[in-house]
Structure 1
Amino acid sequence: MPRFIMETNTDIPIPQKAGGGVLRCNVYRPLGTEHGEKFPVLMTLGPYGKDVPYENFHPASFAELPKEQKSQFSAWETPEPTYWPRQGYVVIRVDERGTGQSPGLLNTFSAQTMRDFKEAVEWASVQDWSNGKVGLTGISYYAITQWAVAALRPKGLTCIIPWEGMNDLYRDLEKRDGIMGNQFIETWYDRQVASGQYGLPGKAARNWGPDTIEDSLTKEELDKNNVDIRIENLRNKFIDDPYFAPTVYDLTNIEVPLLSVANLGGITLHLRGNVRGYARATSKNKWLYFITGRHDLPYYLPEYVALQKSFLDAWLKGKDDRGWLKGPNASDGVPAVNLLLRKGNPGFNSVDAERRFPRRTETEWPLERTQYTKYYLSANKGLSTTKDIAEKKFTFAGLTGNALQFVTAPFEQETEITGHIVANLVLAIEPDESGKVPKDMDLFVTLRHLDSENKEIFYTGTMGDPAPVSKGWLRASLRAVDPTHPFHKHYQPHHPFTRAVVDYPPPTVPFEALVEIWPTNVVIAAGNKLVFEVSPRDTQGVGIFGLNHPEDRSSEVFGGSNALYVGGSHESWIQFPIIPSQ
């Protein structure tokens, strides 16, 4: 017998001022609620179907979950409802509008979705079995929505744990720093979102949750009720275009306690958002915790469940076993930042391997003692802190050319890189042998780590794939930087990505581009090297997150020749955040 009370398809009414309609949720309550006891709430809202069993959604992943974190009631990337009620929490899973059993317009990431979530949080806080405190937790989409709804400050929201969740739809997912991110979205939306649309017939026959409790919808009705992210991603080019503009919100509005969990291997989707959210939130009680490992597993591992429970118990129950309530960096409390040091080469896609990395706590991010050090690209394809007197121009085919790699000398001593990386590149678009000149240029840059035998050290990527240290992207026509923006830093440039700043590179005239490389940590052993790679297209480590849509990256616009200038008067460099040894 389950040790909880389960209610399915409970209605959450949405007032007309917030969009109207109804959301449906499943509620998993501790047994004590039947006797008048009140408990804090853990809530998720998303499009994957509250009734779709994890075991069917991703069988291989489900098989690897710890026994106490899986059951017939488990759902992908959400807290386990057989575990948390036993710990004294009500678990609520809400079907996003237009998905599962919640009728309406399906429009993922939308402002309406976040208004709905706000109403759901406030509804949960006043139920008879609620103690008035609502916490949010969950992975990926269920973390993305946490950032956005927390910025709306719903009544009852007490704390959040955004576990691997980006918070800038344009920059992090759909237009990776100006370049359309299509490959993941195409697969994700078709398999994980559209497959669970409200009113879609045949879900039960596919073991994708029950059929809609009302009548199924026709294809015409389904299409009318679906704002297809794939279509909108292609149609909208800039952050102030109609589709993207409503998704922008102010992270500084977040004031509730938060524990932002950032995966260092998430270099193609979530990592930057977790760091950004921590940095910009104005909560007095915020922590940044770094992990590694595959995207789906760490959240459910015993040590990380214990971390979540400790944080939630403190803020939702007042039971504080680590000192969270004292605030970040308090004496006998919890330091603001918990780093995981990627030292050595234990392998990738292995829980045991990830556990070998040591940890170190810090009081701030980025680290105040950081020594920002420029390594210049040289004519002999080297990387050095000394600028090369010799000048050289490297040319490569736009759109389809091979990557250029610049390599450091072997490091003389162990060196730690922790923080934000930025590269400044002097570039040009030029005619190829046929005379064709590109109109624009896309930049794909990668940082790699070689051991003393020149073999690359790989880290665990989002899907368990071998990942390099970090990556960065930039569309040249959107290279404009706003140095007056409050979030612009010398180590993290602010690109507006608005329609007004579009500036196509003039043919054959060198120009500079500042490329943000996603935050990272790596410890380079003496004798090892770093490789900085500049490419006009995806390279190893992008996994399923490719940027290769033929309409966004056409030969008409990007075909021709690209040039990279190094040495002499050319300021082509990469700036590393080096942490001095203590």
Structure 2
Amino acid sequence: MWVERDVPLAMSDGTVLRANVYRPLGGGQYPVLMSYGPYGKDLSFQEAYPVQFAAMVEAHPEILEGTTGKHLAWEVADPERWVPFGYVLVRVDSRGSGRSPGFVDCFSPQQARDYYECIEWAGSRPWSNGKVGLSGISYYAINQWQVAALRPPHLAAICPWEGVADWYRDANYHGGIPSSFFPRLYGVQIESVQHGVGSRGRRHPHFGVLAAGDVDLDENELMANRADVAEELRQHPLFDSYWQDRSADLSSVEVPVLSAGNWGGQALHLRGNIDGFTESASEHKWLEVHGEAHWTLYYSAYGVDLQKRFFDYFLKGEGDWPDEQPAVSLNIRYPGEVFELRGEGEWPLARTSWTKYYLDVADHALSLEPADEASTISYQPFGAGVTLMSPPFQEATEITGPIAAKLFISSASEDADLFLVMHLYDFDGIEVLFEGASEPRHPLSQGWLRASHRELDLARTLAHRPAHSHDKVAPLVPGQVYEVDVEIWPTCIVVPAGYRIGLSVLGRDYDHGGQGLPTAYGVEMRGSGVNVHDDPVARSAAVYGQPVTLHSGGQHASYLLLPIVPPA
């Protein structure tokens, strides 16, 4: 293939971004697959992420069949796999990152406009057939939603593989509770390849290219050339124009969509992938949900085949994608990381039997009938919380879809952070954990709500999906009982006969209690990955560490709403 490095892409404000272009040999016009982001187009996957790379190829050795792997980069397509299929790959370093100069402002309107201009540049090249598709994981998926809403004329299809749509609710303020994930990632994965790190950064082991540019800027210059993400998040605790500008307007997304999510993508991408499917305006859209780690299946034979059939149809006019691909393709999950691929026609599934399990805090139970007698239990939010258990299931039972909880709570302070955790327990009462997108020992599902953010957006709220406006704070009166609705993120599990489900109500992140796994982000993975909520100022013990009381029975019929799916 032809490889052109640092191809200049002049933006309308005069900034010149740099791209790598990988093309089939010879003449002709081809569809384009593009990615645009801050992780370094010339940063070697194997060198920068050796642990993840080793785990990926061990699980899926076919990833290195027919490729040297020299052109692999984190969370974007391998040109050696795709160019032989008759595609041009264009990999762009976003403004201020890698080998592109400028100011780093992730998911800003400026970056979305840049992406629009890059798409239009690629769609008008002599080697392009005029159709551009977008491909990539995580960051490279999130900004697909954003730019698709701007409707670039040459954009023909998008495949956001595990990507947030709502930058506030999906990633940074879960239920209004601030997460420290993105500021940590920003320092490790984005600042390290900021344009101007230059010779202090990594050099590609095969091509000798400095991933962060040839210019060496001092630390003050680098700081002046990037947004202070941690400070910006602190300054915007409510959903305002800052978040609106950095979240996709899904109602304006009309291009064909293949949205690929991960059952283990709690606290990051799964919610966005499902919302992208249900809320985008496209007449041609598909949802696929899988398991395994965040970055693996995209590169696997399964993932490449799925993407290729989609892009072949919409970028080349080849194949029978709409006839052969169900609207919803779910890898139904069983304990032990066993999956069974099944096609469905919609989300949530039309045959769902929405089933209420009522909380009985007196007996620490989840019951199909509400308790007549009122009861209460108090817990220390930063402690063990309260866990309630269902009876053993009498037969194998599938739970697939969104989950909601209605709770009645009171607090000793003017606010309370509610962390809800769904569990699966085996015959012996031992919790069954799952491989998450970025956490190898994850609970069944999780949900969050800051009680002062309890006001619902009634126009968007559904019984199985409470939606909160997050635009104002309504403090609690200590001791007063409040009704709150909590969104618990979608999940999928076939519960074996004899197993139980559980619900924990906590005031802190879930911790499986076992040995934590180290990360590069300054936090151990202990069941919640790196998506933790540990800001000591935003979650002060004086407010959020005070006793909370959970009410059930009588006039306070708290319940968990589960999507039980009968056989088709």
TM over 0.5: yes
Equivalent residue for 2:327, pick from 319, 336, 340: 336
Could you tell me whether the CA contact under 8 Å between 1:101 and 1:213 is conserved in 2?
yes
Equivalent residue for 1:202, pick from 199, 203, 211: 199
Is residue 484 of structure 2 the alignment partner of residue 509 of structure 1? no
The Cα RMSD (Å) is 1.6
Specify the SS of the correspondent of 1:244.
helix
Specify the SS of the correspondent of 1:482.
coil
Equivalent residue for 2:364, pick from 375, 381, 386: 381
Could you tell me whether the CA contact under 8 Å between 1:62 and 1:70 is conserved in 2?
no
Could you tell me whether the CA contact under 8 Å between 1:199 and 1:211 is conserved in 2?
no
Residues of 2 paired with 1:176 and 1:229: CA distance? 17
Is residue 266 of structure 2 the alignment partner of residue 258 of structure 1? no
Please show how residues 119-130 of structure 1 align to structure 2 within 5 Å: 119-130=117-128
For residue 244 of structure 1, report the CA deviation from its aligned partner: 2.2
Specify the SS of the correspondent of 2:230.
helix
Find the counterpart in structure 2 of residue 24 from structure 1.
Answer: 18
Is residue 158 of structure 2 the alignment partner of residue 160 of structure 1? yes
Could you tell me whether the CA contact under 8 Å between 1:443 and 1:473 is conserved in 2?
yes
Find the counterpart in structure 1 of residue 378 from structure 2.
Answer: 395
Please show how residues 263-282 of structure 1 align to structure 2 within 5 Å: 263-282=262-281
Question: For residues 385-444 of structure 1, what are the alpha-carbon distances to aligned partners after superposition, in whole Å with 9 as ceiling and x for unaligned?
Answer: 10011221111123x1322101000111221111110001100012xxxxxxx2210010
For residue 135 of structure 1, report the CA deviation from its aligned partner: 0.5
For residue 371 of structure 1, report the CA deviation from its aligned partner: 1.3
Find the counterpart in structure 1 of residue 446 from structure 2.
Answer: 471
Find the counterpart in structure 1 of residue 130 from structure 2.
Answer: 132
Question: For residues 352-393 of structure 1, what are the alpha-carbon distances to aligned partners after superposition, in whole Å with 9 as ceiling and x for unaligned?
Answer: xx4x41121111111111111111000201101100112211
Find the counterpart in structure 2 of residue 533 from structure 1.
Answer: 504
> CA 1:100 to 1:258, structure 2 compared with 1: closer, same or farther past 3 Å?
same
Residues of 1 paired with 2:489 and 2:391: CA distance? 23
Residues of 2 paired with 1:5 and 1:124: CA distance? 16
Could you tell me whether the CA contact under 8 Å between 1:425 and 1:512 is conserved in 2?
yes
Specify the SS of the correspondent of 2:79.
coil
Query: Which 4+ stretches in 1 moved above 4 angstroms?
Result: 204-209, 211-214
Is residue 470 of structure 2 the alignment partner of residue 497 of structure 1? yes
Could you tell me whether the CA contact under 8 Å between 1:170 and 1:177 is conserved in 2?
no
Could you tell me whether the CA contact under 8 Å between 1:470 and 1:517 is conserved in 2?
yes
For 1:381, the aligned partner's letter is H
Could you tell me whether the CA contact under 8 Å between 1:70 and 1:80 is conserved in 2?
no
Find the counterpart in structure 1 of residue 8 from structure 2.
Answer: 11
Could you tell me whether the CA contact under 8 Å between 2:197 and 2:215 is conserved in 1?
no
Residues of 2 paired with 1:70 and 1:293: CA distance? 24
Residues of 1 paired with 2:533 and 2:118: CA distance? 35
Query: Which stretch of the first structure deviates more once superposed, 526-535 or 195-204?
Result: 195-204
> CA 1:70 to 1:339, structure 2 compared with 1: closer, same or farther past 3 Å?
farther
Find the counterpart in structure 2 of residue 81 from structure 1.
Answer: 79
Specify the SS of the correspondent of 2:497.
coil
Find the counterpart in structure 2 of residue 460 from structure 1.
Answer: 435
Residues of 2 paired with 1:530 and 1:104: CA distance? 51
For 2:221, the aligned partner's letter is E
Residues of 1 paired with 2:110 and 2:203: CA distance? 29
Find the counterpart in structure 2 of residue 313 from structure 1.
Answer: 312
Q: TM-score, normalised by structure 2?
A: 0.93
For 1:230, the aligned partner's letter is A
For residue 41 of structure 1, report the CA deviation from its aligned partner: 0.4
Residues of 2 paired with 1:80 and 1:214: CA distance? 24
Residues of 1 paired with 2:437 and 2:44: CA distance? 22
For residue 213 of structure 1, report the CA deviation from its aligned partner: 5.0
Specify the SS of the correspondent of 2:535.
coil
Question: For residues 122-174 of structure 1, what are the alpha-carbon distances to aligned partners after superposition, in whole Å with 9 as ceiling and x for unaligned?
Answer: 11000011000000111111111111111111111000111011111111111
Could you tell me whether the CA contact under 8 Å between 1:421 and 1:517 is conserved in 2?
yes
Equivalent residue for 1:45, pick from 36, 45, 54: 36
Residues of 2 paired with 1:363 and 1:450: CA distance? 31
Residues of 2 paired with 1:159 and 1:372: CA distance? 34
Specify the SS of the correspondent of 2:339.
coil
Find the counterpart in structure 2 of residue 91 from structure 1.
Answer: 89
Structure 2: runs of 5+ lacking an equivalent: 58-62, 512-526
Specify the SS of the correspondent of 2:75.
coil
For 2:377, the aligned partner's letter is F
What count of residue pairs does the alignment treat as equivalent?
Answer: 542
Is residue 401 of structure 2 the alignment partner of residue 419 of structure 1? yes
Specify the SS of the correspondent of 2:333.
coil
Please show how residues 146-157 of structure 1 align to structure 2 within 5 Å: 146-157=144-155
Residues of 1 paired with 2:202 and 2:439: CA distance? 31
Could you tell me whether the CA contact under 8 Å between 2:266 and 2:445 is conserved in 1?
yes
Could you tell me whether the CA contact under 8 Å between 1:372 and 1:576 is conserved in 2?
yes
For 1:175, the aligned partner's letter is Y
Find the counterpart in structure 2 of residue 433 from structure 1.
Answer: none
Query: Which stretch of the first structure deviates more once superposed, 217-226 or 112-121?
Result: 217-226
Q: TM-score, normalised by structure 1?
A: 0.90
For residue 461 of structure 1, report the CA deviation from its aligned partner: 0.9
Specify the SS of the correspondent of 1:237.
coil
Specify the SS of the correspondent of 2:275.
helix
